[in-house]
Amino acid sequence: MMEIKDLSENTGEWLRGSGKESDIVISSRIRLARNITGFPFISRANLKQKGDIESLLRETVIKSNIAKDLSYVNLNKANAVDKLFLVERHLISKEHAEGEGERGVAFGKSETISLMINEEDHLRIQVIRSGFELKNTWTTIDEIDNCLGGKLNFAFSSRFGYLTACPTNIGTGMRGSVMLHLPALGMTKHIEKVFNAVGKLGLVVRGLYGEGTKVSGDLYQISNQFTLGKSETEILAVIESVIPRITSYERMARKALILESKDLLEDRIWRSYGMLKAARMITSDEILQLLSQVRMGVNLGLINDIEMRTLNELFILTLPGHLQKLQGCELDSTQRNIIRASYIRKRLEGI
């Protein structure tokens, strides 16, 4: 069984920079919210009930063999750095990390599959893949849901569908999302127009870590807002119809920048690359913006000596939890800024 420290110098399969539209689409993710009959929702459960739910689900998940080399982390026993690390890795949510009582997460070696126990709902099943791969992601998560559903009694109403703690998840209990890198739309001031149109289709735009997080590094998550009254296929069809249009707008914006402001664009990209290779202190917000510019430069063919996977990984590996895990100790913000700059210089020097 893997330990968290074994993950610290590598990243999951979903950051490999491959798959459809991977120059713009970082990843595709689907989550399913499920609850077990006979137990109250987590917000109403006492500590003993949370313990009973965790024990039942942990045992069922581990015995189900739904992923290779499945590992399990008890979050009630994990330290603050480990929990932050798992949040940054997209294996758990911030709310899950900050919860109370027995709770945990199971995940496979590739980190494509993770199962959160006692988050907002008793069980959150997640599958995440690199690029625009919603169909394959759905096939995988549907198989996992069917497997676990055959061993557990999920709370279900013939009228409302799956019963969940949050009313917006009632029905399918599904949230499909796609993470996009859209620097050119931001630079050309067209990003708001695109997202206003997306909102009219019942979709919502969030930051790198979902609900309640700000946009950083020109990374946006687009997901369905409601699940009641629509099938999983219908929800995914809406998302799948929107994403190609957004990627098309981003590509047009990039072409416009090259035609109208090529010198300014190249200067921003190469300045960002130069800062990454020379800076002695870099903050979390700075690193995301610098990496965003360099990533666009690679996609435009302006920078040819760095792989997309490396850039995708650096978005995650330079975050506070990962830096502290790599160092094996807690660090204050100044220490993190120094170590972050040193770490990225070494990674880029090795190219």
Q: So what's the pLDDT on residue 215?
A: 65
Indicate whether 210 belongs to any domain: yes
Q: Are 72 and 111 members of one domain?
A: yes
Q: How many CA atoms lie within 13 A of 229 on its CB side?
A: 6
Indicate whether 291 belongs to any domain: yes
Indicate whether 205 belongs to any domain: yes
Angle between helices 308-317 and 320-327 (to 10 degrees): 80
Q: Are 209 and 146 members of one domain?
A: yes
Give me the torsion for CA of 134, 137, 143, 148, rounded to 10°: -110
Q: Are 189 and 230 members of one domain?
A: yes
Q: Are 102 and 54 members of one domain?
A: yes
Indicate whether 257 belongs to any domain: no
Q: Are 189 and 274 members of one domain?
A: no
Q: What is the pLDDT along the chain (351 residues), one digit of tens a residue?
A: 566 767 766 788 888 888 899 999 999 999 999 999 999 999 999 999 999 999 999 999 999 988 878 999 999 999 999 999 999 999 999 999 999 999 999 999 899 999 999 999 999 999 999 999 999 999 999 999 999 999 999 999 999 999 999 998 999 999 999 999 999 999 998 888 888 888 888 898 887 655 545 567 899 999 998 788 889 999 999 999 999 999 999 999 999 999 999 999 999 999 999 999 999 999 998 999 999 999 999 999 999 989 888 899 999 999 999 999 989 899 999 999 999 999 999 999 865
**Pairwise CA distance, residues 344 & 154, whole Å:** 46
Indicate whether 277 belongs to any domain: yes
| Helix/strand/coil (H/E/C) assignment for every residue in the chain | CCCHHHHCCCCCHHHCCCCCCCCCEEEEEEEEEECECCCCCHHHCCHHHHHHHHHHHHHHHHHCCCCCCCEEEECCCCCHHHHHHHHHCCCCCHHHHCCCCCCEEEECCCCCEEEEECCCCCEEEEEEEECCCHHHHHHHHHHHHHHHHCCCCECEECCCEECCCCHHHCECCEEEEEEEECHHHHHCCCHHHHHHHHHCCCEEEEECCECCCCCECCEEEEEECCCCCCCHHHHHHHHHHHHHHHHHHHHHHHHHHHHHHHHHHHHHHHHHHHHHHHCCCCCHHHHHHHHHHHHHHHHCCCCCCCCHHHHHHHHHHCCHHHHHHHHCCCCCHHHHHHHHHHHHHHHHHCC
Global pTM?
0.92
CATH number for the domain harbouring residue 197? 3.30.590.10
Q: Are 197 and 315 members of one domain?
A: no
Domain boundary among 203, 225, 250: 250
Indicate whether 104 belongs to any domain: yes
Q: Are 90 and 175 members of one domain?
A: yes
Q: So what's the pLDDT on residue 206?
A: 82
Q: Are 286 and 178 members of one domain?
A: no
Q: Are 126 and 20 members of one domain?
A: yes
Indicate whether 256 belongs to any domain: no
Q: Give the pLDDT confidence of 119-132 residue by residue, as tens digits.
A: 999 999 999 999 99
Q: Are 51 and 153 members of one domain?
A: yes
Domain boundary among 199, 223, 250: 250
Q: So what's the pLDDT on residue 125?
A: 98
Q: Are 9 and 133 members of one domain?
A: yes
**Pairwise CA distance, residues 43 & 78, whole Å:** 21
Q: Are 207 and 321 members of one domain?
A: no
Indicate whether 255 belongs to any domain: no
| Structural domain boundaries, residue 144 | 4-250
Domain boundary among 199, 215, 250: 250
Structural domain count of the chain? 2
